[in-house]
């Protein structure tokens, strides 16, 4: 499930990801991010991860496509409450992206939003 949080702005998407992500909802998020990139330039992401399960195949395909295309237009990405595999993945891809990525603990949401918007 994807839930848009009140701290979101037109160029900073603050979203809570929980449970099993479905392709249709993930593509909706990506569409909003891509629209913001086209109209406003680089964007920021704050992804709050809570009880996240492995996504369905359509969500994996959409994420892969986004990662290979428009993720380069994300200026900062904050991962809040990230699970171990997310931390490992961020460290793995970090040298290959232009995006500044940072991990935050679950109780650091405000700090993550402040950092992403700075």
CA neighbor of 45 nearest in space, from 16, 17, 76:
76
| Every domain of the chain and the residues it spans | 2-117
Instruction: Give the CA radius of gyration of the chain.
Output: 13
Q: Which long-range contacts (CB under 8 A, 24 or more apart) does 82-91 make?
A: 82/47, 82/49, 83/49, 83/52, 86/49
Say what the pLDDT of residue 93 is.
Answer: 72
Are the C-beta atoms of 22 and 8 separated by less than 8 Å?
no
pLDDT score of 13: 97
Q: What is the pLDDT of residues 57-102, one digit of tens each?
A: 998 898 888 888 888 899 999 999 866 777 777 777 767 778 899 9
Quickly name the fold that domain 2-117 has.
Transcription Regulator spoIIAA (3.30.750)
pTM of the model: 0.89
Q: Which two tokens stand for residue 26?
A: 């993930």
């Amino acid at each position: 499930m994807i839930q848009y949080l009140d701290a979101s702005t037109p160029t900073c998407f603050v979203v809570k990801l929980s449970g099993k992500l479905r392709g249709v909802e993930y593509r909706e998020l990506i569409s909003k991010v891509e629209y913001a990139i086209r109209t406003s330039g680089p964007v920021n992401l704050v992804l709050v991860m809570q009880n996240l399960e492995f996504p369905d195949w359509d969500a994996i395909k959409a994420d892969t496509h986004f990662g290979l295309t428009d993720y380069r237009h994300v200026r900062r990405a904050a991962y809040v409450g990230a699970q171990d595999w997310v931390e490992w993945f961020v460290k793995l891809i970090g040298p290959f992206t232009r995006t500044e990525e940072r991990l935050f603990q679950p109780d650091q949401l405000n700090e993550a939003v402040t950092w992403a918007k700075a």
